[in-house]
Structure 1
Amino acid sequence: MNEKSIEQQIQSLDDQLSESLEHQKREAIFAEQANERFAKNMACFEQYYPDIAKTFSEFSVRDDFCIHVTKSGHGNFVPKGYSAPLYSDDPIAQSEAQVELNIKTPVYCATDYTSYETNEDDERIHVRYMRSLSESMEQIQEENEPQLGALPAHFPTGIIFGIGLGYHLEILFNRVNFEYIFLVEPDLEIFFASLFCTDWYKLIEQVDERGGNMFFQLGADTSTFIKDLEVLVERIGAFSLVRSFCYQHTPQSEVVQLIQQWSREYFKFQFGHGFFNDAITGLSHSIHLVEKNAPILTGNQSTGIDLSTPVFILGNGPSLDEAEAFIKANKQNAILLAAGTSIATLYNKGIEVDFHILVERPYSNYKIFGDIVPEEVYKKTNLIGLNTLYPDNIERYKWAGIAGKGSEAGTFLLEILGHTELNKGIPLIPYCNPVVANAALSFALYAGFKNIYLFGIDNGNLLTGEHHSKDSIYKMDQDDEDEEGMFCLKMDGKYLPANFGGQVETNDLFMMAHSQLENVIDYYPKRTIYNVGNGAKLTGAYEIPAEELLPIPSKADKFAQIEALKADFFTPFNIDQINDELVGVKGFNEICDHILSLAKEPVKSRVEASELLMRQARYVYSFKNTALNHLFHMIKGALLYYHCPMLTLLYTYKDEEFTLQSYQKINTLWQGYVSEMKDFYKDNYREKCDLGKD
């Protein structure tokens, strides 16, 4: 070994020793800073997010939990189940490069507001203004103005998938001011590590000082992410999500799965907000139903019911035919609920039902149901309807009970009456829309039944072509003009997994109905739900072919149980006339006048216009869960249907002058909509829906 080689080895060992000493210094400095940072972060979370503070004050980490210190003096972390750390040797430089790339080439979520389909003969206020909105948005789109490329310094919403150790957030927030920030992190341990690495207390205070809104979804997975987001958006408004900048920070597969789910289910946040004409007819129908002395759902349990008694929920899907023999053989030992037009299908099959479930407002539906089965069928049948139901329906039946639907102006009027007249609240059966099957399952689970069979609840067309039972009132061939029967809602190329493999073709309405069925099943655990036949698969339900169903043992007299259910769950209010002052015409006028005064304020930039929309929305949402809650629901849907496209428009095009000119066109329509709502409300809050009348 020569002298030079020995010197090289000595130098190498000396370098390693120096690096080791330097690393020890970095670790010591980081440890001191990290512990101080953690304490400040926890104090801040206790003030702003106490539930998060509580979770992480009691949090247990795995035995090999370790935050590694990089050469740049920052923390790094290897997530559980992974071999590589989240960052390189310089997490800040790496995060700066990532933020810069995402700002230059952003990924946006947006909705096309040019294709709102309406019946040209429908002259209701909402429908007319939505037609005008679609036409105006289409005209704006046809200008072919260049759209935003890079992310501007102000943007409505940021959705951050993967919080990591948080290094990117300070960089991003210093570059862009968001009105709404959604932080999604599936790994709680990663977030715990971030409390030692990122000055969360500074970020939270920064967002608060700007008047922004920041929401955490920690521990999110595909079973909870969209559900939790739906609950949150119902509380704060869908405008918080419709124009979003989407940013993926960390590459874990769990994060990728959440992004894919968001992409698939974004449609749920675009529509279905309710709207003024629906709200005012729902209010009117609720008033009429109370004054007709219809029993209202007020109870929550019954001692006269054997909750193990099976409940058959009967829809109109083609799988109903597969189970016809089983239903006929076992109907005496189960309570039968017919959903919507399936009552005609079952009549054609010779099957009598115990309850008919209805939800629809229009007069046209009332007329259709008067024609599809003989009058005497209804006189032997009980009805359960939502309070939105066309009120004359109840006079057809042996007995009729009404359940409150959530997020409805009429329902909150019922709540006031329940407290003042009966000293009782009005329970809201959960996830009871958008279709009748949702209301049927929601009520059966609310009532406590533990064994429920779903027949013909297929949520789409089978790939063999069938869309309804062969005995339904619908045409089997929708293209055959000569075939008798009604046209049914078309499917539009969306698909859901089917029981036993394969898929069913569906559309947005049934996708939403399917999601709501899964939500209500999840809401009531420890129940047994049999999803019979080859319709769409439901998470939480047992799929089973009709031929494998076992005979149902004899049960106690089901008719006595039905009478107990009616008596114990439903109560008439015994009110001859509702005091019109409760309807709040004066309050509604004041709300509309204030919105109009705000909408007419001049704006000189897209940021000012965005802030003006925010002021209107916060004003309207300030009435939520107050004594004027029904007025909030009267106007909420209209606001969402107009504010969502206006906000999207403000952050679509590069040219600010073109953007503001286009915004003013839509804003003028919005002012007209509000003015017409104000004038219409005072004279029509007792008018029943006349949609479908000659």
Structure 2
Amino acid sequence: MSQKSLEEQIQQLDEQLSSSVEHQEREAKFAVEANERFARNIACFEKYYPQIATAISEYKVREDFCIHVTTTGVGNFVPKNHHAPIYGDDPISQVSAQVEYGIQHPTFSATDYTASPILEDDKRIHIRYMGALTKAFQEIQAEQKERLTVLPEHFPSAMIFGIGLGYHIDLLLEKTSFDYCFLIEPDFEVFFASLFCTDWFSIIEKVDERGGSLFFQLGADEQTFIQDLETLADDIGAFSVVRSFCYQHTPLPEIIELIQQWSSQYFRFQYGHGFFNDAITGLAHTVHLVEKNTPVLTLPKQKRVDLSTPIFIVGNGPSLDEAEEFIRENADKAIIFAAGTAIASLSKKGIDCDFHILVERPYYNYKVFGDFLPPEEYKKTNLIGLNTLYPDTTDRYKWSGVAGKGNEAGTFLLEVVSQTLNNKGIPLMPYCNPVVANTALSFAMFSGFKNIYLFGIDNGNLPTGEHHSKDSIYRNNLDDENEEGLVCMGMNGKYLPANFGGQVESNDLFMGAHFQLEKLIAHYPNRTVYNIGNGAKLKGAHPVRAEELLPLPEANRDINEQVEFLKSDFFEQFNLEEFDDTLLGVKAFNEICDHVLGLAKEPVSSVKEASDNLLRQARYVYAIRNTALHHLHHMIKGALLYYHCPMLSLLYTYTDEQFTLESYAKVNTLWQGYIIEMKEYYQHNYRTKCDHGKD
């Protein structure tokens, strides 16, 4: 070995030793800082997020859990089931470049507010003001002004997919601020590791000082993510998510899956907020139903009904025809719920139902159903509806009962009446909307039935093209204007997997109904639900072809007796002759409208001022949620969301601030008019039944 070679080896060993010593020094320094940081983070979470603090304290790390210290002196981490660390050797530089790219090339969630239909003949307040809003946005969009292509210094919301070790959060919040920031991380262990690397206490305090809101969705997965986000949006308002900066931090498959889910389910946060006319109609109908002494769903004192009795829930989808013979041959062995227009299809097939399920509040629906069947047919069956139902509907049936629908002004008052008279609240059936099939399945599962069959609950057109049962009141050929029957709701290119291959073409309403059905089935895991035919596949239900169904065994008990037990065990009359109108809070509603109107009239000179003004209005309205004025929150909430969401989006769409503020002022004038009309209408019409559809 040459002298030079020996010297080189000695030098190399010396360098390795020096590097090892330096690394040990970095690790020692990091360990001190990391432990101090962890302690401060825990204290901060205990103050602001006690549930997360508890989860942290109870968390057990894996045996090989380790924060690796890079040559740049910061932490790195290898997630479980992965072979490579999250970052390279210089995480801060790497993340800084990513954040800068995200700011310069942002992805924004957005809604087209020019596509809503304008119904000139519908004079309801909400419909008129939504038509005016649509026209205003069409005019604004026609100007074709330059749109934002860079993330501004303030933006309404952020959806951050992947927390990683948190380095990007601090860097991002140094450059911009958000009113609402959602941090979504599937792997709790990764978040746990970030507690040693990121000053969460500093981030949280910074957001708090700015008056912002920071939400953690830890352990998010495809089963819980959208549902948890919906719960949050319901608590704080959908405006918190509709105009969001969307940022992907880590490229992991589970993160990409959540982003895809957010993209496909985003429409859920744009609509379905309820609105003023619906709210006041539901309130008025509840008052009338109570005064008619209509039985209300309560928690049963006894359960005489045999919960093993099969339940047939019959919708009007085309797969109903496939199971016609099975339903007919087994009708005396099951309790049959006819959902909405399916009652007419069953009648045409010669099959009676035990309960008709209805939810719609407009007079028009009451009138149309009166034309479907002769009065004597309705008198043969019972009705189960929601407390928003048009009150005269109950007079048609042998017996009628209603259940409280969640998120309704009238339901809160129903709760008050029940507490006052019976010293107990009323149960709210979970996931009972948006369509009658949801209500029917919700009631069946709430009641405790174990074996439920779904017929004609297809949530769209079958892969073969059929849209309804051949015996339905809808036209078979929708394009034939000479054919008798109603024109059914069109599908709009949304698709769901079908039970036995192919796809069901759907629309936003049925997509929402399908999503709710799946959540309902998951909510009651110890039930058996059979989904008959090749309609939309339902997670948690057993797909079955009609020809594969086995005949039901003879019923252990008389079905008619079971029906009577179901009515008497689960429903209770209040025996209240007259509703106390002071509970309706006319004076309080006037004050709420005046306050929101006063805020809306305040002058604004910048986009940020306008955004802050909307935020003040919204937080005032949401502050009365879950108070004695809860029903008044529901009275104005829908109107606020349907206007605030597009107004907020407008403020953060264009680069021209002057144009933005001028456009905002026009829409804000409409919003003020809406508030004034709501205030005037409420004090004179809180007992007025819906007249939509009257000649």
In the superposition, the TM-score normalised over structure 2's length comes to 0.99
The question of whether the paired residues in 2 share the 8 Å contact of 1:297 and 1:401 is answered with yes
Q: How big is the shift at 1:491?
A: 0.4
Q: Aligned to 1:273, what secondary structure does the other structure show?
A: coil
Structure 1 residue 682 corresponds to structure 2 residue 683: yes
Per-residue deviation, residues 193-233 of structure 1 (Å, max 9, x unmatched): 11111111111111111111011110111111001111111
* Aligned ranges 1:640-659 → 2 under 5 Å: 640-659=641-660
The question of whether the paired residues in 2 share the 8 Å contact of 1:297 and 1:403 is answered with yes
Q: Aligned to 2:405, what secondary structure does the other structure show?
A: coil
The question of whether the paired residues in 1 share the 8 Å contact of 2:463 and 2:498 is answered with no
Per-residue deviation, residues 542-587 of structure 1 (Å, max 9, x unmatched): 1111111122122211221211111121111111211111111101
User: 1:566 is matched by which residue type in structure 2?
Assistant: K
User: 2:599 is matched by which residue type in structure 1?
Assistant: L
- Find the aligned partners of 2:399 and 2:302 in 1 and give their Cα distance: 18
Q: Aligned to 2:496, what secondary structure does the other structure show?
A: strand
* Aligned ranges 1:224-373 → 2 under 5 Å: 224-300=224-300, 302-373=302-373
Q: Which residue of 1 aligns with 2:437?
A: 437
Q: Which residue of 1 aligns with 2:636?
A: 635
- Find the aligned partners of 1:64 and 1:342 in 2 and give their Cα distance: 60
Q: Which residue of 2 aligns with 1:185?
A: 185
The question of whether the paired residues in 1 share the 8 Å contact of 2:319 and 2:532 is answered with yes
- Find the aligned partners of 1:147 and 1:17 in 2 and give their Cα distance: 57
- Find the aligned partners of 1:119 and 1:568 in 2 and give their Cα distance: 44
Q: Which residue of 2 aligns with 1:693?
A: 694
The question of whether the paired residues in 1 share the 8 Å contact of 2:119 and 2:131 is answered with no
Q: Which residue of 1 aligns with 2:623?
A: 622
The question of whether the paired residues in 2 share the 8 Å contact of 1:301 and 1:448 is answered with no
Q: Which residue of 1 aligns with 2:498?
A: 498
Q: Which residue of 1 aligns with 2:420?
A: 420
Q: How big is the shift at 1:118?
A: 3.7
* Structure 1 stretch displaced more, 555-564 or 204-213: 555-564
Q: Which residue of 1 aligns with 2:58?
A: 58
Q: Which residue of 2 aligns with 1:103?
A: 103
Q: How big is the shift at 1:258?
A: 0.3
- Find the aligned partners of 1:13 and 1:3 in 2 and give their Cα distance: 15
Q: Return structure 1 stretches of 4+ with deviation > 3 angstroms.
A: none
Q: Which residue of 1 aligns with 2:15?
A: 15
Q: Which residue of 1 aligns with 2:478?
A: 478
The question of whether the paired residues in 2 share the 8 Å contact of 1:357 and 1:385 is answered with yes
- Find the aligned partners of 1:43 and 1:329 in 2 and give their Cα distance: 66
Q: Which residue of 1 aligns with 2:580?
A: 579
- Find the aligned partners of 1:480 and 1:334 in 2 and give their Cα distance: 38
The question of whether the paired residues in 2 share the 8 Å contact of 1:532 and 1:544 is answered with yes
Q: Which residue of 2 aligns with 1:557?
A: 558
Q: Aligned to 2:84, what secondary structure does the other structure show?
A: coil
Q: How big is the shift at 1:298?
A: 1.6
Per-residue deviation, residues 92-124 of structure 1 (Å, max 9, x unmatched): 111111110000110000111111114220010
Per-residue deviation, residues 68-105 of structure 1 (Å, max 9, x unmatched): 11011111011111111100111111111111000011
Q: How big is the shift at 1:463?
A: 2.2
- Find the aligned partners of 1:140 and 1:301 in 2 and give their Cα distance: 59
- Find the aligned partners of 1:240 and 1:303 in 2 and give their Cα distance: 43
Q: Which residue of 2 aligns with 1:670?
A: 671
- Find the aligned partners of 1:402 and 1:477 in 2 and give their Cα distance: 35
Per-residue deviation, residues 331-362 of structure 1 (Å, max 9, x unmatched): 11111000000000000001100000000011
Per-residue deviation, residues 495-517 of structure 1 (Å, max 9, x unmatched): 00000121100000100000011
User: 1:545 is matched by which residue type in structure 2?
Assistant: R
Q: Aligned to 1:21, what secondary structure does the other structure show?
A: helix
* Aligned ranges 1:572-611 → 2 under 5 Å: 572-611=573-612
Structure 1 residue 374 corresponds to structure 2 residue 364: no
Q: How big is the shift at 1:685?
A: 1.0
- Find the aligned partners of 2:492 and 2:608 in 1 and give their Cα distance: 38
- Find the aligned partners of 1:145 and 1:469 in 2 and give their Cα distance: 49
Q: Aligned to 1:82, what secondary structure does the other structure show?
A: coil
- Find the aligned partners of 1:287 and 1:517 in 2 and give their Cα distance: 29
User: 1:572 is matched by which residue type in structure 2?
Assistant: Q
- Find the aligned partners of 2:86 and 2:155 in 1 and give their Cα distance: 28
Q: How big is the shift at 1:300?
A: 4.3
Q: Aligned to 1:29, what secondary structure does the other structure show?
A: helix
The question of whether the paired residues in 1 share the 8 Å contact of 2:493 and 2:507 is answered with yes
- Find the aligned partners of 1:411 and 1:116 in 2 and give their Cα distance: 29
Q: Aligned to 2:136, what secondary structure does the other structure show?
A: helix
Q: Which residue of 2 aligns with 1:172?
A: 172
The question of whether the paired residues in 1 share the 8 Å contact of 2:147 and 2:653 is answered with yes
* Aligned ranges 1:22-33 → 2 under 5 Å: 22-33=22-33
- Find the aligned partners of 1:173 and 1:49 in 2 and give their Cα distance: 19
In the superposition, the TM-score normalised over structure 1's length comes to 0.99
Q: Aligned to 2:121, what secondary structure does the other structure show?
A: coil
User: 2:82 is matched by which residue type in structure 1?
Assistant: Y
Per-residue deviation, residues 372-408 of structure 1 (Å, max 9, x unmatched): 1121111110000001111100000000001010111
- Find the aligned partners of 1:463 and 1:327 in 2 and give their Cα distance: 23
* Structure 1 stretch displaced more, 344-353 or 371-380: 371-380
Q: How big is the shift at 1:301?
A: 6.2
- Find the aligned partners of 1:229 and 1:377 in 2 and give their Cα distance: 44
Please, which runs of 5 or more residues in structure 1 have no aligned partner? none
Q: Aligned to 2:195, what secondary structure does the other structure show?
A: helix
- Find the aligned partners of 1:455 and 1:46 in 2 and give their Cα distance: 50
Per-residue deviation, residues 116-155 of structure 1 (Å, max 9, x unmatched): 1142200100000000000001101111111111101111
- Find the aligned partners of 1:634 and 1:226 in 2 and give their Cα distance: 26
Q: Aligned to 2:509, what secondary structure does the other structure show?
A: helix
Q: How big is the shift at 1:159?
A: 0.6
Q: Give the CA RMSD over aligned residues.
A: 0.9
User: 1:405 is matched by which residue type in structure 2?
Assistant: K
User: 2:584 is matched by which residue type in structure 1?
Assistant: V
- Find the aligned partners of 1:250 and 1:235 in 2 and give their Cα distance: 29
Q: Which residue of 1 aligns with 2:71?
A: 71
The question of whether the paired residues in 2 share the 8 Å contact of 1:70 and 1:90 is answered with yes
Per-residue deviation, residues 291-319 of structure 1 (Å, max 9, x unmatched): 11101112246420111111110000111
User: 1:633 is matched by which residue type in structure 2?
Assistant: H
Structure 1 residue 202 corresponds to structure 2 residue 202: yes
User: 1:686 is matched by which residue type in structure 2?
Assistant: R
- Find the aligned partners of 2:476 and 2:188 in 1 and give their Cα distance: 52
